[in-house]
Amino acid sequence: MRYVFHGLIVLLLLTNSGCDSSKKTGLGNTDSANPAASLTTSTELLANGGMEVWTNPTTLTHWTLVGTGATSAQKKTKRMAGTYSARVTAAGVSGYIEQDLANPKSYRNKTLFLGSWVYATGDARLLLRYSAEGVNTDAWAFHSSNPGWEYLTAITKIGGTATQVSVILLATPGVTALFDDASLSIYKKTIPADHRT
């Protein structure tokens, strides 16, 4: 018990996190750099996380746009790395780009770490989601809504019966957000199976 408690304190310090609601698991934070880079594997799990490959100027390869009236577009003049960022504009409902991981069963009982640069002047978020037995479990990270780039991170342990694992980069209704240099990897530290704070 002492080990678990100590591990949670260290994890909270690493992620500089607040608390999530009881329906959310994992941790999220805002940082100027990825604080857990040395604590994750070097294997990148996202396809086109750098937002560089576009089928056309409004269709980001390997990502799906979701949300009635939502739009996405490559943005060259405001980016953190490479040539483009991905601009997502939400209309009357939240709009987001989503990527489902191939072979989700291979991530069961593993802890995943998601990070992305986000620029917004309103409510923008990123989340890791896994679905198990018809129930979605989300680990969120929130942009401060202060204009500018922020590095957001979310971490969660994937359930042992997960059938889908997704990354979602989201803008709330009426908000435009830019996402760049997203990365997903396996977290090397141990997190309790039911980490809810």
pLDDT at residue 183, as a whole number: 97
pLDDT for 14 beyond 50: no
Return the bridge partners of 72, or none. 88
Amino acid at 93: V
Identify the band that residue 42 occupies on the pLDDT scale cut at 50, 70 and 90.
Answer: confident
Mean pLDDT of 92-98: 97
- Does the structure show a pLDDT above 50 at 17? no
Environment class of 98 (CB within 10 Å of its CB; exposed 0-12, middle 13-18, buried 19+): middle
pLDDT, average across residues 133-147: 95
pLDDT at 65: 98
pLDDT the model gives residue 41: 72
Mean pLDDT of the chain: 83
* Alpha carbons 34 and 116: distance in angstroms, whole number: 9
142-152 pLDDT, tens per residue? Answer: 999 999 999 99
pLDDT tier, 10 (very low <50, low <70, confident <90, very high otherwise):
very low
Residue 126: closest CA among 41, 42, 26? 26
pTM assigned to the model: 0.79
Is the pLDDT at 22 greater than 60? The verdict is no
CATH fold, domain 2-186, is: Jelly Rolls (2.60.120)
Residue 5 has pLDDT above 90, yes or no: no
Query: Cβ(28)–Cβ(139) under 8 Å?
Result: yes
Q: Is a pLDDT exceeding 70 seen at residue 47?
A: yes
